Structure 1
Amino acid sequence: MSNKENFLLECYQLGIIKFGKFTLKSGIESPFYVDLRPLASDPKILKKLSFFLLELISINDFDLICGVPYAALPMATAMSLESELPLIIKRKEAKAYGTKKLIEGIFSKGQNCLIVEDVITSGISLLETIPEIEKEDLKVTDIIVVLDRQQGGKKLLEERGFRVHSLFNMTEVCEILRKNNLISDEEISRINDFLKGNQVQFAEEKRLTYEQKLENSTNSFSKKILEIAIEKKSNLIASADVLTTKELLDFAEKVGPNIVALKTHIDILTDFDFDETILPLKDLANKYNFLLMEDRKFGDIGNTQELQFSNGIYKISSWADLVTSHVIGGENSLDCFLNVGVIAILGMSSKGTLTNSEYREEALKIALSHPNVIGGVCQNKIPDELLLFTPGVNMETKGDNKGQQYNTSEFVFKNLKTDFIIVGRGIYKAEEIEKASLDYKIAGWNSYIENL
C-alpha cells in the first residue's frame, strides 16, 4: 500500500467523508458528504497533508500562498511553514473598519500566488475568489485542491486557463476504501451514478415499529410506554397545564382512555395536597392504563436534583413514572433518577431557543450513554436507540405570541420520525376535551401507521 493510500485511510478515520443521503447547499441529494475541517485538529495529519500537497507543484514557481477561507486556511498555513512561502489571507468579507481590506498580508505587485482549496465541486467559489486576489495586482496561475469531487469544477477552471492540481479525486477515494472493505459496492454504484449526473435513488428510510422498539428495549419504563402504545393504539401524551387539583383530576378522567401518558407541571397547582392530588391521580392512571410524566425539567447539579426529586411537598420520586431533565449538569447529574424513566431535554420548541445544534449533539451523547434515559424531547430526528417525544404538536401549525411554534402530527411522524406526540392547548383549551383527545389519538396513530 502506498504512502498516499495510508494517508487517506488516516484521514478517513477522522470522519472527513461520510456515505449516506445528504442534502447539499444547492438542494441536490448526494450519496456522500466531505468535510475536511477535522484535519486541522490533528497536527500530525495536517503536517503530512502539507507534504503531499507541496509535492504536486514546484515551490520555486510561486511567491505567495493563499488558502480559501475557511477550511483551507490551516492547510495553507502548514504549507507556508513547510515551504517558507509567505502566506496571505483572503477574508470572506471586508472589515467594516480599519483598512477594510479583503486581502491581508505582505505582498508586492506582480507576485504569483498559489491558491489552496480543500474541496472543489463546481469551481464557482474559486472563480469568485481569484478576481479579488487579482485586483491586488497579484497573478494566479495554479490551484491546489485536496479533493476533486469530479462535478465539473476542475474542468471549468482549466478551461479558464488555470492549472488545477488535486491530491485525490472521488473515484480514487472510492477505490482505496473499497480495497480496504470500508465502502460497499452499492455505495460505489450510487456515487458513480451521482458523478455521471444521474439522479440517485436512495433506499426509503424505514422507521422501527413500536413492536420492534419494544423488542430492542432494555429499560422497564421504555417497555411500559411502548406496551401501552401498542395496547391502546395511541402515541398521545396530553399536557395538563391546569392550576387546581379538581381541574387536573377532571382532565385526567376525560383524556385517560386515549393517552399513553399524562404530562404534569405539578408545581403550578395552587392547592396541591399529596393525598388529595396524587393518590386519586394514581388511581386514574391505573384505571385507564397511562403513565404519569412530571415535566419538571430538572436542570441542576446531581445533589440538588436528587433533593428536588425525592423531597419537598411533591415527592416526585414516589409517584412519577417519567420525568424530564436537562442534561446541562453533565452525565452524572442523571444518576439520582432511580426507578423512573428519564426523558432528556435535547431541544425546545420555542422561537429563539438556545438549544442549538452543538448543544443538541453533546446532549444526545449523554442521553445515549446513560441507562436511566429512555428518550429525548427534541424537534429533530434522534437515533432509534432512544424514543423521541415531540412537543408543540397541534392541528394548527401557527404559533402563539409567546414564541411557541407548532407542528402537525403528520409533519413530526414523517419528517422527525417521532414516537410520541405531546399536545397541550389543543386538548386542554378545547371546548370538548374528551373529543379533542380522541381526535389527536386517532390523528397521531394514523400518522404513525402511514409512515412505517
Structure 2
Amino acid sequence: MTQKASVAEPDYARVASDAVDTLLSLNAVLVWRDRPFVYTTGWASPVYVDCRKLMSEPKRRQLLMDHAANMIHDRLNGKIDVIAGIETAGIPFASWLADRLSLPMVYVRKKAVGWGLNAQIEGDLPPKARCLVVDDLTTDGLSKIGTANALRRAGATVSDVFVVFNYDIYPQSRQAFKEQGITLHALATWADVFSQTKARSYFSPEQAKVIKQFLADPIAWSARHGGADSLPAFARSVP
C-alpha cells in the first residue's frame, strides 16, 4: 500500500496511553447516574465510551489517527486495498484513515437500501478487494461481524477490523471473531483505561467498584439492570 508519509514502528504502550489520555481529557468515558446505558445490542452497562467526541477535537483526532495509520501500516502493510467504514460512527474514522493510507474508501449501511449485490455498500468496491472494516468502538462485536459478512457477500475479502476502543470484555465475541477469521485491532481497551483513571481520580471509589463488577461479568451485570441476559442470541445472530 502507498503511504503519504514515512511511518515509524509504533510504540503500542504509548499508543494505548495516548488514546486513553485523549478519551479521559475529553470526558468521553461516561458513567451512569440515574439509570444504566443500554447499547443498541441490548446490553446494559454503567459506562459508555463516546469516541465521537474526537470529531470535534482536531489535534487529539490527528494524534490518534496518526497512531491508527502507523498501526495498520505496521500490521497490514500491503494486505489492504479498501477502507470500509460502518454507518454512521465509523464513517469519519474510515475517512481519516483512508486519507492517511492513500486508500479508497467505502461505507457499509447497517441495512440494505434497495436491491442488488451492493445494496448495503456506498462507493466503488472493486472485485475481490481486501477490506479493512473501521468503526469507532466495539462492545460485543456483532455489528463488525455483520459488516464483514455484508462485504464478503459483495465479493470482498475481510480478515481485519480496526476500532479506536475495544471493550474486550465479552469472551464469546472473541470466539466469534476467531470463528469468522477476523483479527481485531484497537488503540486501547478497558484494561488501558484503568491504568490511568486511578491517578486522575477520574472515577469515584463507588463508580470504580461498580465498573469493576461490570467488567468482571458484563452479562450478569446487564441482566441485573434490565439489559440483555445472555450471549446465545449474539451467537445465533452472526450470519
TM-score (structure 2 length as normaliser): 0.74
Q: Which amino acid aligns with 1:41?
A: S
CA distance in 2, matches of 1:65, 1:176: 31
- The residue that corresponds to 1:19 in the other structure is 31
- The residue that corresponds to 1:136 in the other structure is 154
1:199 aligns with 2:212: no
Is the CA contact 1:65–1:113 (under 8 Å) kept in the aligned structure 2?
yes
Q: CA deviation at 1:100?
A: 7.4
- The residue that corresponds to 2:229 in the other structure is none
- The residue that corresponds to 2:234 in the other structure is none
Instruction: Provide closer, same or farther for how the CA distance between residues 71 and 85 of structure 1 changes in structure 2, counting only shifts above 3 A.
Output: same
Is the CA contact 2:30–2:47 (under 8 Å) kept in the aligned structure 1?
yes
- The residue that corresponds to 2:110 in the other structure is 92
Is the CA contact 1:120–1:154 (under 8 Å) kept in the aligned structure 2?
no
Q: Name the count of aligned residue pairs.
A: 201
1:166 aligns with 2:186: yes
Q: CA deviation at 1:94?
A: 3.5
2:88 aligned to 70, 75, 79, which one? 70
Instruction: Provide closer, same or farther for how the CA distance between residues 154 and 116 of structure 1 changes in structure 2, counting only shifts above 3 A.
Output: farther
- The residue that corresponds to 1:34 in the other structure is 49
- The residue that corresponds to 1:112 in the other structure is 130
1:49 aligns with 2:64: yes
- The residue that corresponds to 1:176 in the other structure is 196
Q: How does 1:150-299 map to 2 (within 5 A)?
A: 150-152=168-170, 153-197=173-217, 198-199=220-221
Q: CA deviation at 1:77?
A: 0.4
- The residue that corresponds to 2:227 in the other structure is none
Is the CA contact 1:121–1:150 (under 8 Å) kept in the aligned structure 2?
yes
CA distance in 2, matches of 1:71, 1:19: 20
- The residue that corresponds to 1:397 in the other structure is none
Q: CA deviation at 1:96?
A: 4.3
Q: Which amino acid aligns with 2:68?
A: L
Is the CA contact 1:112–1:139 (under 8 Å) kept in the aligned structure 2?
yes
- The residue that corresponds to 2:78 in the other structure is 60
Is the CA contact 2:19–2:187 (under 8 Å) kept in the aligned structure 1?
no
Is the CA contact 1:158–1:164 (under 8 Å) kept in the aligned structure 2?
no
Q: CA deviation at 1:69?
A: 1.4
CA distance in 1, matches of 2:155, 2:177: 20
CA distance in 2, matches of 1:113, 1:97: 22
RMSD of aligned residue pairs (Cα, Å): 2.7
1:103 aligns with 2:115: no
Is the CA contact 2:18–2:64 (under 8 Å) kept in the aligned structure 1?
no
Deviation per CA, 1:219-256: give whole Å up to 9, x if none. Answer: xxxxxxxxxxxxxxxxxxxxxxxxxxxxxxxxxxxxxx
Q: CA deviation at 1:28?
A: 4.5
CA distance in 1, matches of 2:130, 2:14: 32
CA distance in 2, matches of 1:103, 1:165: 22
Is the CA contact 2:54–2:60 (under 8 Å) kept in the aligned structure 1?
yes
Q: How does 1:428-439 map to 2 (within 5 A)?
A: none
- The residue that corresponds to 1:255 in the other structure is none
- Tell me, what secondary structure is at the counterpart of 1:60? coil
**Which structure is richer in relative contact order (CA contacts within 8 A, separation 6 or more)?**
2
CA distance in 1, matches of 2:14, 2:117: 47
Q: Which amino acid aligns with 1:24?
A: V
CA distance in 2, matches of 1:97, 1:155: 32
CA distance in 1, matches of 2:198, 2:17: 12
Q: Which amino acid aligns with 1:178?
A: K
Deviation per CA, 1:95-121: give whole Å up to 9, x if none. Answer: 449997321222321121001121211
4+ long deviations beyond 6 Å? 97-100
Q: Show structure 1 runs of 5+ residues with no match.
A: 203-452
- Tell me, what secondary structure is at the counterpart of 2:89? coil
CA distance in 2, matches of 1:3, 1:146: 10
Q: Which amino acid aligns with 1:38?
A: K
TM-score (structure 1 length as normaliser): 0.41
CA distance in 1, matches of 2:156, 2:118: 18
- Tell me, what secondary structure is at the counterpart of 1:165? strand
- Tell me, what secondary structure is at the counterpart of 1:115? strand
CA distance in 1, matches of 2:155, 2:117: 18
Deviation per CA, 1:358-411: give whole Å up to 9, x if none. Answer: xxxxxxxxxxxxxxxxxxxxxxxxxxxxxxxxxxxxxxxxxxxxxxxxxxxxxx
Is the CA contact 1:46–1:78 (under 8 Å) kept in the aligned structure 2?
no
Q: Which amino acid aligns with 2:202?
A: L
Is the CA contact 1:178–1:184 (under 8 Å) kept in the aligned structure 2?
no
